[in-house]
């Protein structure tokens, strides 16, 4: 099973950005962990990150080409980017939405997700572990 893990805006500075909220792992460390979990689950994962919304949209389009499922954490775009929702709707594959922090228990503006109704699985507030749960969920849909 092929899964793309698409991290969005500001997730490149993980580990340095509010570690009390987002954890102390760098993006590289998080991705290494994701690759280990994927190997255990016998999934073929590709991790990607960008700070550019149009590039994220293109990453979603790329996923339509041969990827079976996606794990997405679009960062702040989650709360307002209808372009990203449209792109993920176009992909039409099972989706798992991950947020390191508990967005449902933070500022009001973080409580809304443009991905509502589109994702098969959503996990918030579990840090890196959320990505493992998302992969495990998607792996059992195959």
Q: Distance between CA atoms of 64 and 97, rounded to whole angstroms?
A: 17
Based on the shown chain and the rule CB under 6 A, indicate whether residue 13 belongs to the binding site for ligand DQA. no
Burial of 111 (0-12, 13-18, 19+ CB in 10 A): exposed
* Minimum CB distance to ligand DQA smaller for 61 or for 111: 111
Q: Distance between CA atoms of 126 and 135, rounded to whole angstroms?
A: 14
Q: What are the phi and psi torsion angles at 97 (to 5°)?
A: -100, 130
* Minimum CB distance to ligand DQA smaller for 49 or for 138: 49
Q: Distance between CA atoms of 114 and 1, rounded to whole angstroms?
A: 26
Based on the shown chain and the rule CB under 6 A, indicate whether residue 49 belongs to the binding site for ligand DQA. no
**Contact set for ligand DQA, span 93-112 (CB under 6 A):** 99-101, 103, 110
* Minimum CB distance to ligand DQA smaller for 37 or for 77: 77
Would you list the DSSP string of 88-104?
HHHH-S-EEEEESS-GG
Based on the shown chain and the rule CB under 6 A, indicate whether residue 75 belongs to the binding site for ligand DQA. yes
Active site residue 22: yes
Contact pick of 76, 86, 90, 112 for ligand DQA (by CB under 6 A): 76
User: Would you please indicate which residues are annotated as catalytic (active-site) residues?
Assistant: 22, 99
Q: Which residues here bind ligand DQA, judged by CB under 6 A? A: 10, 73, 75-76, 78, 99-101, 103, 110
């Amino acid at each position: 099973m092929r899964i793309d893990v698409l991290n969005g805006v500001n997730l490149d500075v993980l580990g340095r950005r509010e570690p009390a909220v987002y954890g102390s792992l760098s993006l590289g460390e998080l991705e290494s962990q994701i690759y280990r979990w994927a190997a255990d689950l016998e999934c073929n994962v590709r991790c990607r990150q960008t700070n550019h919304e149009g590039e994220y949209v293109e990453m979603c389009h790329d996923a339509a080409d041969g990827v079976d499922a996606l794990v997405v954490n679009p960062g702040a775009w989650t709360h307002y980017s209808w372009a990203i929702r449209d792109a993920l709707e176009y992909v039409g594959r099972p989706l798992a939405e991950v947020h390191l922090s508990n967005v449902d228990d933070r500022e009001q503006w973080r409580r809304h997700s443009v991905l509502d109704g589109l994702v098969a699985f959503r996990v918030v507030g579990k840090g890196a572990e959320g990505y493992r749960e998302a992969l495990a969920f998607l792996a059992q849909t195959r």
